[in-house]
């Protein structure tokens, strides 16, 4: 690494105006080495604009950015030698096979003996799960296979940073699963910076997430930290029987903030918001079971969903 710290990518008040429209405003990001960084935001938020600036495909209106310690304005060629890039909609020569496609791409980076190039092509096909389809024409590939081939192209030169623009946006569930699995495998080889608007993907594979809305950065944090700070703990219970006595007992506890109840067929569902998570974990279930003629069918802490947090931060949540 060229930098003295562990950041692969840093931006400082990076901004871009297109024809009088502010596409990106004072973006400040830091991406750590060997992380999977989810760049999250709705369509039109400025994600692709940011990627184009980082790759030197567009020039910032103001602000700056460093990739491997190199300035994106003056040293974009140096940066691109160490970056692999997958565009949102990759294009191929449809008559070529996957192996021929990677061999063609590898030719831009390697000039050594042919066996060495073939070895690298074979390794990359194996890495993205296309070894068994290596000699099939690309025109017969599914959407997920095409995206994995695109990742293979981006990875062929052993990049220190892999930038993926909406790698799973248009795929069916199986295709998305396969692409995310490849990204997880690549973690040990490179740093991954990928844009997306699919929240479940971010929650599954990312170490760190940033949320962009209308060209402005709303937050950036390790995903576990972000989710754990997204609200008071809530415990869920499914209860059957005479629940009123239990409800009165639990609601009188000083660490219980509110109980929301909802009838569900032959039982009642509770959502208990608490101020002390450790006390709730230790006492709540026993208190409910011992305070009336009830049986508890289910008990646990409600899983925090990134979507809840995201909607609270973006305009969609504000307008609800």
Q: Does the pLDDT of residue 1 top 50, yes or no?
A: no
Q: Do 27 and 217 form a contact (C-beta atoms < 8 A)?
A: yes
pLDDT band at 228 (very low <50, low <70, confident <90, very high): low
Q: What is the pLDDT of residue 305?
A: 65
Q: Considering Cα of 268, then 273, then 274, then 277, what sign does the dihedral take? A: positive
CA atoms of 55 and 161, how far apart (whole Å) = 11
For 7-12, what is the mean pLDDT? 95
Q: Which residues contact 154 (CB under 8 A, 6 or more apart)?
A: 84, 85, 86, 162, 163, 164
Q: What is the pLDDT of residue 147?
A: 93
Q: Does the pLDDT of residue 120 top 60, yes or no?
A: yes
pLDDT, one tens digit per residue, over 51-79 is 999 999 999 999 999 999 999 999 999 99
For 141-164, what is the mean pLDDT? 93
Q: What is the pLDDT of residue 243?
A: 87
CA atoms of 160 and 234, how far apart (whole Å) = 41
For 15-28, what is the mean pLDDT? 94
pLDDT band at 4 (very low <50, low <70, confident <90, very high): very low
Q: What is the pLDDT of residue 84?
A: 94
211 bridge partner residues: 40, 219
Strand ranges of the sheet holding 267-274, from the earlier edge strand across to the other edge: 256-264, 267-274, 234-241, 294-301
């Amino acid at each position: 690494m060229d930098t003295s710290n562990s950041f692969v990518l840093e931006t400082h008040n990076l901004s871009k105006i297109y024809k009088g429209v502010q596409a990106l405003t004072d973006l400040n990001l830091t991406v750590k080495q060997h992380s999977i960084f989810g760049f999250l935001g709705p369509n039109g938020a400025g994600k692709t604009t940011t990627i184009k600036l980082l790759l030197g495909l567009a020039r910032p209106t103001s602000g700056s950015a460093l990739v491997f310690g190199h300035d994106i304005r003056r040293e974009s060629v140096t940066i691109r030698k160490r970056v692999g890039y997958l565009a949102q909609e990759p294009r191929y020569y449809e008559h070529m096979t996957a192996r021929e496609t990677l061999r063609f791409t590898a030719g831009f980076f390697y000039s050594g003996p042919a066996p060495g190039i073939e070895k690298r092509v074979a390794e990359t096909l194996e890495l993205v799960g296309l070894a068994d389809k290596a000699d099939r024409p690309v025109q017969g590939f599914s959407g997920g296979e095409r995206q994995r081939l695109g990742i293979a192209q981006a990875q062929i030169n052993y990049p220190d940073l892999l930038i993926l623009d909406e790698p799973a946006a248009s795929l069916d569930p199986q295709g998305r699963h396969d692409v995310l699995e490849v990204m997880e495998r690549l973690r040990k080889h490179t740093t991954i910076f990928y844009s997306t608007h699919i929240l479940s993907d971010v929650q599954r594979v990312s170490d760190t997430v940033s949320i962009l809305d209308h060209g402005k950065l709303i937050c950036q944090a390790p995903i576990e930290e972000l989710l754990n700070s997204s609200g008071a703990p809530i415990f869920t219970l499914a209860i059957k029987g005479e629940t009123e006595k239990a409800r009165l007992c639990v609601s009188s506890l000083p660490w219980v903030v509110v109980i929301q109840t909802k009838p569900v067929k032959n039982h009642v569902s509770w959502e208990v918001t608490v101020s002390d998570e450790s006390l709730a974990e230790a006492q709540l279930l026993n208190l409910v079971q011992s305070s009336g003629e009830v049986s508890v069918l289910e008990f646990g802490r409600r899983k925090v969903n990134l979507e809840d947090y995201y909607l609270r931060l973006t305009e969609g949540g504000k307008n609800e």
